[in-house]
Amino acid sequence: MEMRFLSWNGAVVCLMLGIFPNSVKALPPELQTDAPVIYLADNLDERNNLGWCIDTIGRGFGDQLHAHSCKPDGGDVQYYYDEETKQIISHAFEGKCMDLDNPSSQNLPFGLLDCTSDTSQQFIYDTETMLITPASDASLCVAVAEASQTAGRYRKRALKLSACAETEAKLMEWTMLPR
């Protein structure tokens, strides 16, 4: 009995010291953005604990998407998932949807285009795995890049299309707060 206690204590100490960093997730973000919002479940390295949201590149409307610190005032980081149409829709820009318009691009595969019925705008969100996959290929997932960069007082990352089986869960598990 004593041996088990020491082993368990040792495991806790190892985790606290970061000896097994890949087995421990960061804390979830302290989200300050009002719904609707789609954000990464793991805060990763977002220094203000704001989390990571889908966002347009640049200020205001932009036709390309990346991941960005979730902005407390919302705006271009607010998206929602329509289960019926399978679309990820901008709350700030009426009639605009996430589109897999450049799937071969390593860093810019997603655009924000006029909503259509094209399959390039259809995504499946699995509430159990928290994965977003293109409706056309369930082996691929919407993920963020491993590295982040400074973006003024915030941070940014590439929003990528990655092989689900080869991507760390913390880079592709999304939480959705509906409208």
Rg (CA), the chain: 18
Q: What is the dihedral of CA 159, 162, 171, 148, to 10 degrees?
A: -40
Which portions of the chain are predicted below pLDDT 50? 1-23
Q: pLDDT (tens digit, 9 = 90+) per residue, 133-166?
A: 999 999 999 999 999 999 999 999 999 999 999 9
Residue 179 pLDDT: 86
Reported residue count of the chain is: 179
CA proximity to 40, closest of 51, 25, 32: 51
Give residue 44's region: left, alpha or beta (phi > 0; psi -120 to 50): left
Q: How far apart are CA 93 and CA 79, in angstroms?
A: 9
Q: What are phi and psi of 9, to 5 degrees?
A: -60, -40
Residue 12 pLDDT: 37
Residue 164 pLDDT: 98
Three-state secondary-structure class, residue 112: strand
The pTM (predicted TM-score) of the whole model is 0.84
Residue 25 pLDDT: 56
Residue 26 pLDDT: 61
Residue 107 pLDDT: 83
Q: What are phi and psi of 90, to 5 degrees?
A: -70, 135
Structure-block tokens of residue 162: 């990655």
Residue 159 pLDDT: 97
Q: Where are the beta strands (DSSP E) in 21-110?
A: 37-40, 52-56, 65-69, 79-82, 87-90, 96-99
Domains and CATH numbers, the chain: 26-177 (2.80.10.50)
Residue 125 pLDDT: 98
